[in-house]
Amino acid sequence: MTRYASLAVTACLAAVAGLAFHRVFGVGPVAPVAAVAAVVPTVLSGLLSGPRKSGDPWPLWISLVLTVVAWAGTVTGTVLRPALADGTLPRALRDGVLSSWKAILTTLLPAPAEPEYLVLVSVVVWLAAFASAELALRTSLRAAPCVPALGGWAVALPLGVDGPGSNLPLAAAAVALTAVLVLLRADGPGADGPGAGVAWRPLAAGVPAAAVLGALAFAAGPVVPVGARPYDPREQVQAPPPQQRDGVSPLDRVGGWLLRPGEVMFTVRSGRPEQQRLAVLDRFDGVTWSSTARFVPTGSRVPEGPRPGERHEVEQHITIRDLPGVWVPAPDRPRRVEGLPVAVDPESGALAAGRPLRPGQAYRVTSVVPEWTAEDLAAAALATDAEARAALDLPWGPGATEPPVQIAEFRRFAEAATRGAGSPIEKAALLAEYLRRYAAYDVTAPPGHGYRQLDYFLSEGRRGTPEHFATAYALLARTIGLPSRVVVGFRGGQRAGDTVQVRSGDVLVWPEIKFEDLGWIRFNPLPDSGRRSKEDDSVAAGETEQKLEQAQKAAASQQRGEGPGQNAEKGPREPAAGGGSPTPWWVFTSVAAAVLVIGYVLAVLLAPALRKRRRRTGPPAARITGAWHQALDHLADVGLSTARTLTAHEVARFGASSVGADAHGHLGPLADLVNHSRFAASHPDPRAADRAWEHSDAVGRLVTARAGRVRRLRRRLHPRSLTGRSGGERRPPAGRRRVRSPGG
Amino acid sequence: MSESAGVDADALAGRFAQMFAALAGNIERVVRGKREKVELALVCLLAEGHLLVEDVPGVGKTTLARAISASIEAEWARIQFTPDLLPSDITGVSIFNQGTSAFEFHPGPIFANLAVADEINRGSPKTQSALLEVMEERRVTVEGTPHPVPRPFMVIATQNPVDMDGTYPLPEAQLDRFLMRISMGYPDHQAEVALLAGAPTGAMLDTMPPVLGREDLARMIDFAQRLHVAPPLFDYLVRVVAATRAHADLRLGASPRAGIALLRAARVRAAAAGRSYIVPEDVKALAVPVIAHRLIVTPEAELRGRSGADVVAEALGSVPTPQAAGV
C-alpha cells in the first residue's frame, strides 16, 4: 500500500514541478499538460509494477520502452493534435523536444502557448513522473523519488525566471509533498522496507508537520533575503539577428504622408489621446537613420523600461487601416499587446509584426506613459552607458575618407544655439527652442536627412518637415555631446464617433535625448505652425505632451536662474535614502552565513541522535549491530579509529586500552553479542539486544568521563557527525590514533 | 537451525570447552608454561591434523606427545629419523610365518595413536615420503594391502632449525600435510624454575591419569566438525588464503588444502571457546600456524628477512573481516 501511496505523492510532485512552467506560459495552458504528463506515466509504472507469474517485477527496460511509446501517443493526441491534423506532426515533435527551449529562451515571457512549446512541459513532467515512480517502486530510498521532480524544477525555474507570477506557493507545496513522501516511506516498527506497509504513526504525526513546514516555507519565502536579481539564462542567450523587417524606413515615408495627409493609417479607441510611437531610429550612418533594435518574439508582455516617478497607464484598441510596413504603433512604452503577434525590442519597447500589417488587423495595447516633472528634469544628468555612447556617433558617411565639413558647422550652430546653457536639460531645451524659431514648417520641403540636406535646411532653406527638424536636432545634439535618437510616430487625429482616426498627416518625428536614470526624453523642435490642429474635429495634442514641454521649460529656466555654467553636468543622482536603496551585500552574506551555521549545528547535533534512534529500532540482531556501531562512535570520540580488518574483540581490546580497563568489561561482552548475532546459527533474543545497548551506553558514559563533555561536543560538531559508520572504513584525521590489525 | 537447536549446540559447545580445558590443564601439569602451544596441539589433534614442531632439542616436544597420549588413553610411539632409516622401519613389514606358512604383517611404530617423528628432516626423502599416505589417508599400504591406523591418529614431527647439516628439507607436499607448524620455545623463567623444583617429568608422565577416553575424543572431533559457519566467513577465509597467492614475496602461495585445514582448526578453536559457531577471531588466531609453513618465500624476500608468517600477517591485515559493518 505504501508503494501506491508513494506513487500518488510522486505524481503530485511531478505535476507541481510542471506547474512551475506557469511563469513561462501562464497557468491555463500548463495545468492540463502537467496533469496528464504526471498521471499517465505514474499509472503506467504502477500497473507494470504488479507481480508477474514469476513473482518478479517487470524489467526496467520494458517500462522505459512502454513509457516512451505512451508519451508519444499522449502528446500526439493532446498537445500536438493540431499538428497531427495538418500533417506536420514529425516536425512539431522534433522541434518541441529539441528546439522549444531555445525558442522560449529567445521569447519574452509569457511565451505564447504554441503546441511545440508545450511539448517541452509534457516531456519534462513525464520524465520526472516516470523516474519518480520507478524510484518509488524499485528502491526503498525514502527521499530519492523526489529528486526527478527537482529536475523538473531545474528546467522550469530558469526558463521562467523573467516571467510573471510567483512560484512560492508551488515551492511550498513541493516541500510539503516531499515531507509527506519521506514520512510515507519511513520504515514502520518491524517493517522490512517501504513495501511492507504504511507507517501510520509517523505519518499521522508527520502529515500535519509537513503541512506546517509547507506553510512556513510559503510564509518565510518572501522575507528570505535572497539575491534581488536571480540568474536569468536569457542574459546569456544571443538573441536572433535582427531581420530586415521593412524595406522602407518610416522616416522616408514621412514626406509622402504629409503630402497626402488624408489617408487613414489606423484608428484608435481610447479614453485619452496619446502620442503614438511607430519606429525608433537610433543609428545614423551619415545618410539615413535606421534602427538597431533586436526584436525578440513575445506572447503579449513587453519588458518594463525605466521607471518614472509619476506615470499613468493607458489602454488603447487600435485597428490598422492603411499603415504600411511592419512597425506597430503604440503609445510610449507598451507593456502588453494582445490580439496581434508581435516582436519587441526590449531596449526601446518598439513593436514590430512578423509580416507587413494588413487593413483590419486589430489589437489592444496597454502602455505606461511617464509624466516627468521639472524637478526630475532639472536634476538629470546625461546618460553615459553604452547605448548613450553609441547615440553620440557622427559617422562620416558611406565611403567617406574624411569627416564632412558639415559636422563642424553643425557644432558651431549648436553651440551658438545653446550658448549660456549650463545643464544638459537646458542645452536640450534651448536647442529645441532655437530650432522652433529658426526654421519654418513646410510640408513641401524636399525630403532627406543626410548631412547635405540638413546643411541646406539649416543654412539656406530654413523650411522643413518634422523629418528635417527632428533629424537636424538629433545631429546638432550629438555635436555638443547630447546622446540623441529619432522617433517616428503620430500625434492627434480626427474623431469619428468613439474612435480617433489617425491619418498620414498626423505623422510626427521627434528627437529624444537620453538622461541618466530617466531614460529617453523627447523634445519638440517643431514650430507651432506644424502642430496646430488643422481641422475643427481634430484631436488636440495630448495632455502628456503639454506637461512635458512645460516641465522642460521650467527645468531650463531653473537652470538659467542659477547662472550659466554654475550647474554643469551633475553626476548621477544620489539614490534616495530609504526605499530605493539596495540592501548591502554583506547583509545577504551575513544572513546566509548565519542560516548555514545554524543549519549545520542543528544537523550535526540532530544527525547522531536520529542515527542512534534508528539503531535502537528493528529486530534484535539489527539492534545489537546498532549498539556496536554506537559504541564505535563513542570510541571515535576518544580519537580511536578502527580499520575494517579488525575483529570485534580486537576492537574491544584497543577500545579498552584507550578508554580504560572498565570499558573492556562492556566492550568484550558487546563484541560477543555482535559476533553471536552475526555468525551464530540461532537468532539473538530481545534481551540480548537490551544487554548490548546497556553495554554500549556504559561505554558512552565511560568515554564521556574519559574525554570530557567539551571534547565530545567539539567532536560532535565535526562534519563527520553527519555520516554514519556503515559506509565502511574512514580515514582518521591527522593526529588521530589509528588502530590497525597486527599485520597491517 | 531452530533456536532450541541453537541452545543445544551452545550447551554442547560448553561441554566441549570444559573437556578441552581439562585436557589442556592435565597436559600443562608436565608441559609447563606452554598453555598456548598445548592448546594449539590439542586443536590439531581434535581437527585430526598433524603437527610439525620446529624447535631445538630439549624443549618438551616428546613430552608433549607423551602427555597428550597419556591424557587420552592413547598409544604413542617414537620414530627417530636417521639417514639410514628405511620406510619399512616406519610402516612395518610382512614376515613369513613358518607355522602358518603365510606372511604376517608386523605393524611399525606409525600404527600408534600419536607417532612422534623426531628430527624428521634427517630421514632420507624416500623414508619421509613413507609418511605421505598415512598422514593424508590414515592407512598404510604394504604389499598391496591397506592397513588402517587407529583413531585418533596424529603425527607430531619435529625438526631442528639450527643444525641443518646432513638433513633433507621436507618437500612441499609433505609440509602441506601438516595442519600446523609451531615452535615450542623455551619456557619462561618461572616455569623453568618450577620445572627444576618439581617432580621428574618422566615419573609424572607415568602416573598421569587419563582425562578422556578415545570414544570421548572421537565425539569431540565429530562435534567440532559440525559447528555452524556463517557464509561470510567462508568468503573471508578464501580471501585470506587467496591473498597469499598474489603476494610478491612468495614463490608459492597457500593451497586449497590450507583453507580446508584452517576451517577445521577454526571450528575446533571455536568449540574450545564454548561457542557453537566460529568467528573471525578463530580464523585470525590460527592463520599463521596453519598457513605459514605451506608458503615458499622468494630468495630475495628471504634475504630481506621475510618469512611466511610475515606474509600471512600482511594478508590478515589487508582483508576486511566479515564483521558487522563499521569494524
Write the pLDDT tens digit of every residue in A496-525: 888 888 888 888 999 999 988 888 888 989
Tell me what pLDDT residue A744 has. 33
Q: Which of A674, A680, A741 sits opposite B324 (nearest CB)?
A: A674
Residue A253: pLDDT band with limits 50, 70, 90: confident
Tell me what pLDDT residue A728 has. 39
Q: How far apart are CA B143 and CA B126, in angstroms?
A: 17
Q: Looking at the structure, do residues A417 and A284 belong to the same domain, yes or no? A: no
Q: Spell out which residues of chain A touch residue B321, defining contact as CB-CB under 8 Å.
A: 644-647
Which residues does A272 contact at the CB level (< 8 Å), separation at least 6?
A312, A314, A542, A543
A149-161 pLDDT per residue, tens: 888 888 888 888 8
Residue A213: pLDDT band with limits 50, 70, 90: confident
Q: Where are the alpha helices (DSSP H) in A221-347?
A: 250-259
Buried b (16+ CB within 10 A) or exposed e, B144-179: eeebebeebbbbbbbbbeeeeeebbebeeebebbbb
Q: How far apart are CA A201 and CA B311, in angstroms?
A: 55
User: Does the CB of A741 have a partner CB in chain B at under 8 Å?
Assistant: yes
User: Does the CB of B280 have a partner CB in chain A at under 8 Å?
Assistant: yes
Q: Which residue has the cell 495630448?
A: A542
Residue A585 maps to a domain:
no
The H or E element containing residue B16 is: helix B3-28
Q: Which domain holds residue A71?
A: 2-236
B123-152 pLDDT per residue, tens: 999 999 888 889 989 999 888 889 999 988
Q: Which of A87-96, A541-550, A554-563, B6-15 has the lowest mean pLDDT?
A: A554-563
Q: How far apart are CA A507 and CA A489, in angstroms?
A: 6
Q: Looking at the structure, do residues A123 and A39 belong to the same domain, yes or no? A: yes
Q: Which of A266-280, A575-589, B96-110 has the lowest mean pLDDT?
A: A575-589
Cα dist from B223 to A386, A462, B199, whole Å: 94, 126, 36
Cα dist from B4 to A620, A683, B170, whole Å: 17, 10, 48
Tell me what pLDDT residue A572 has. 39
Q: Which of A258-272, A464-478, A553-567, B119-133 has the lowest mean pLDDT?
A: A553-567
Across the A:B interface, residue pairs with CB atoms under 8 Å apart total 110
Tell me what pLDDT residue B142 has. 86
Residue A673 maps to a domain:
yes
Max CA distance (Å), chain B: 75
Q: Looking at the structure, do residues A255 and A334 belong to the same domain, yes or no? A: yes
User: Does the CB of B231 have a partner CB in chain A at under 8 Å?
Assistant: no
Nearest to A3 by CA among A136, A192, A160: A136
Q: Looking at the structure, do residues A361 and A389 belong to the same domain, yes or no? A: no
Average pLDDT of span A735-742: 43
Q: How far apart are CA A703 and CA A698, in angstroms?
A: 9
Provide the CATH number for the domain formed by B228-327 in this structure.
Answer: 1.10.8.80
pLDDT at residue A466 above 70?
Answer: yes
Q: Which residue has the cell 500518488?
A: A8
Nearest to A649 by CA among A634, A664, A660: A664
CA dihedral (A74, A78, A80, A85) positive or negative: positive
Q: How many CB atoms lie within 10 A of CB A104?
A: 23
Read off the DSSP letter of residue A99: I
- Grid cell of B246 as nine digits: 598474489
A271-319 pLDDT per residue, tens: 777 888 888 888 888 888 888 887 877 777 777 766 666 778 888 899 9
End-to-end CA distance of chain A: 50
| Inter-residue contact A107 to A298 (CB < 8 Å) | yes
User: Does the CB of B14 have a partner CB in chain A at under 8 Å?
Assistant: no
Query: Letter for the amino acid at A101?
Result: W
The chain B residue lying nearest A729, using CA atoms, is B326
Whether the predicted interface score ipTM is above 0.95: no
Tell me what pLDDT residue A54 has. 58
B291-315 pLDDT per residue, tens: 999 999 999 988 998 999 999 999 9
pLDDT at residue A196 above 70?
Answer: no
Residue A496 maps to a domain:
no
Buried b (16+ CB within 10 A) or exposed e, B204-241: ebeebeebbebeebebbbebbeebbbbeebeebbeebb
Q: Which of A371, A398, A421 is the last residue of a domain?
A: A371
Residue A210 maps to a domain:
yes
B214-231 pLDDT per residue, tens: 888 889 999 999 999 999
Q: Where are the alpha helices (DSSP H) in A99-225?
A: 100-105, 115-138, 147-159, 168-184, 200-220
Q: How far apart are CA B258 and CA A492, in angstroms?
A: 108
User: Does the CB of B132 have a partner CB in chain A at under 8 Å?
Assistant: no
pLDDT at residue A477 above 80?
Answer: yes
| Inter-residue contact A332 to A275 (CB < 8 Å) | yes
Tell me what pLDDT residue A737 has. 46
Tell me what pLDDT residue B199 has. 56
ω before A112 within 30° of 0 (cis)?
no
Backbone angles phi, psi at A248, to 5 degrees: -115, 130
Which residues does A5 contact at the CB level (< 8 Å), separation at least 6?
A184, A198
Q: Looking at the structure, do residues A344 and A471 belong to the same domain, yes or no? A: no
CA dihedral (A522, A523, A525, A528) positive or negative: positive
| Inter-residue contact A275 to A507 (CB < 8 Å) | no
**Are residues A744 and B327, on separate chains, in Cβ contact within 8 Å?**
no
CATH number, domain containing residue A429: 3.10.620.30
User: Does the CB of A725 have a partner CB in chain B at under 8 Å?
Assistant: yes
**Are residues B3 and A649, on separate chains, in Cβ contact within 8 Å?**
no
Which residues does B99 contact at the CB level (< 8 Å), separation at least 6?
none
Q: Which of A318-322, A354-358, A439-443, B262-266 has the lowest mean pLDDT?
A: A354-358
The architecture of the domain spanning B3-226 is 3-Layer(aba) Sandwich (3.40)
pLDDT at residue A544 above 80?
Answer: no
Which residues does A679 contact at the CB level (< 8 Å), separation at least 6?
B228, B229, B230, B232, B233, B277, B278, B279
User: Does the CB of A645 have a partner CB in chain B at under 8 Å?
Assistant: yes
Residue A125 maps to a domain:
yes
CA dihedral (A204, A207, A213, A218) positive or negative: negative
| Inter-residue contact A353 to A295 (CB < 8 Å) | no
pLDDT at residue A219 above 80?
Answer: no
pLDDT at residue A710 above 50?
Answer: yes
Residue A190: pLDDT band with limits 50, 70, 90: very low
**Are residues A741 and B2, on separate chains, in Cβ contact within 8 Å?**
no
Residue A224: pLDDT band with limits 50, 70, 90: low
| Inter-residue contact A286 to A397 (CB < 8 Å) | yes
pLDDT at residue A391 above 70?
Answer: yes
Q: How high does pLDDT run on average in chain B?
A: 87
**Are residues B317 and A744, on separate chains, in Cβ contact within 8 Å?**
yes
A64-75 pLDDT per residue, tens: 888 899 999 998
The chain B residue lying nearest A672, using CA atoms, is B279
The chain B residue lying nearest A640, using CA atoms, is B327
Tell me what pLDDT residue A727 has. 38
Query: Letter for the amino acid at A57?
Result: P
The H or E element containing residue B250 is: strand B250-252
Q: Spell out which residues of chain B touch residue A675, defining contact as CB-CB under 8 Å.
A: 279, 281
Q: Which of A318, A348, A371 is the last residue of a domain?
A: A371
Residue A691: pLDDT band with limits 50, 70, 90: very high
Residue B164: pLDDT band with limits 50, 70, 90: confident
Q: Which residue has the cell 551555521?
A: A597
Q: Which residue has the cell 608459492?
A: B252
Residue A221: pLDDT band with limits 50, 70, 90: low
Read off the DSSP letter of residue A461: I
Beta bridge partners of B114: B76, B154
Average pLDDT of span B62-83: 86
Residue A575 maps to a domain:
no
Which residues does A684 contact at the CB level (< 8 Å), separation at least 6?
A620, A621, A624, A673, A676, A677
pLDDT at residue A129 above 50?
Answer: yes
For an interface test with B, which of A653, A679, A685, A729 has the most B Cβ atoms less than 10 Å from its Cβ?
A: A679
Parallel/antiparallel/unpaired status of strands B154-159 and B51-54: parallel
**Are residues A682 and B230, on separate chains, in Cβ contact within 8 Å?**
no
pLDDT at residue A351 above 50?
Answer: yes
Tell me what pLDDT residue A484 has. 93
> How many domains are contained in chain A?
4
Percent of chain B at pLDDT > 90 equals 43
Q: How far apart are CA A503 and CA A493, in angstroms?
A: 6
A654-681 pLDDT per residue, tens: 888 888 878 888 888 999 998 888 888 8
Q: Looking at the structure, do residues A95 and A200 belong to the same domain, yes or no? A: yes
Residue A223: pLDDT band with limits 50, 70, 90: low
Tell me what pLDDT residue A344 has. 84
Provide the residue count of chain B.
Answer: 327
Q: What is the distance of C-alpha A82 from the center of its chain? A: 30
Q: How far apart are CA A304 and CA A162, in angstroms?
A: 11
What are the residue ranges spanned by the domains of chain B?
Answer: 3-226, 228-327
Q: How far is A689 from chain B (nearest CA, A)?
A: 15
Q: Looking at the structure, do residues A394 and A357 belong to the same domain, yes or no? A: no
User: Does the CB of B317 have a partner CB in chain A at under 8 Å?
Assistant: yes
The chain B residue lying nearest A730, using CA atoms, is B326
DSSP three-state, residue B77: strand
Q: Looking at the structure, do residues A399 and A258 belong to the same domain, yes or no? A: no
| Inter-residue contact A501 to A264 (CB < 8 Å) | yes
Q: Spell out which residues of chain A touch residue B275, defining contact as CB-CB under 8 Å.
A: 680
Q: What is the gyration radius of the CA atoms in chain A, in angstroms?
A: 37
Q: How many CB atoms lie within 10 A of CB A536?
A: 6
Residue B18: pLDDT band with limits 50, 70, 90: very high
* More reliable by pLDDT, A574 or A652: A652
Q: Spell out which residues of chain A touch residue B7, defining contact as CB-CB under 8 Å.
A: 682
The chain A residue lying nearest B313, using CA atoms, is A743
Residue A1: pLDDT band with limits 50, 70, 90: low
The chain A residue lying nearest B226, using CA atoms, is A681
Q: How far apart are CA A379 and CA A518, in angstroms?
A: 10
Max mean pLDDT among A33-42, A310-319, A548-557, B70-79 falls in: A33-42
Tell me what pLDDT residue A84 has. 83
| Inter-residue contact A199 to A155 (CB < 8 Å) | no
Q: How far is B104 from chain A (nearest CA, A)?
A: 51
Q: How high does pLDDT run on average in chain A?
A: 80
Q: How far apart are CA A61 and CA B243, in angstroms?
A: 39
**Are residues B323 and A744, on separate chains, in Cβ contact within 8 Å?**
no
The chain B residue lying nearest A627, using CA atoms, is B324
| Inter-residue contact B154 to B52 (CB < 8 Å) | no
Q: Which of A520, A545, A561 is the last residue of a domain?
A: A561
Q: Which of A176-180, A429-433, A608-612, A696-700 has the lowest mean pLDDT?
A: A608-612
Q: How far apart are CA A491 and CA A275, in angstroms?
A: 5
Q: How far apart are CA A621 and CA A677, in angstroms?
A: 5
Q: Spell out which residues of chain B touch residue A677, defining contact as CB-CB under 8 Å.
A: 324
Q: How far is A697 from chain B (nearest CA, A)?
A: 18
Q: Where are the alpha helices (DSSP H) in A397-542?
A: 405-417, 424-438, 451-456, 466-479
DSSP string across A726-743: TT---PPPTT-EEE--TT
pLDDT at residue A377 above 70?
Answer: yes
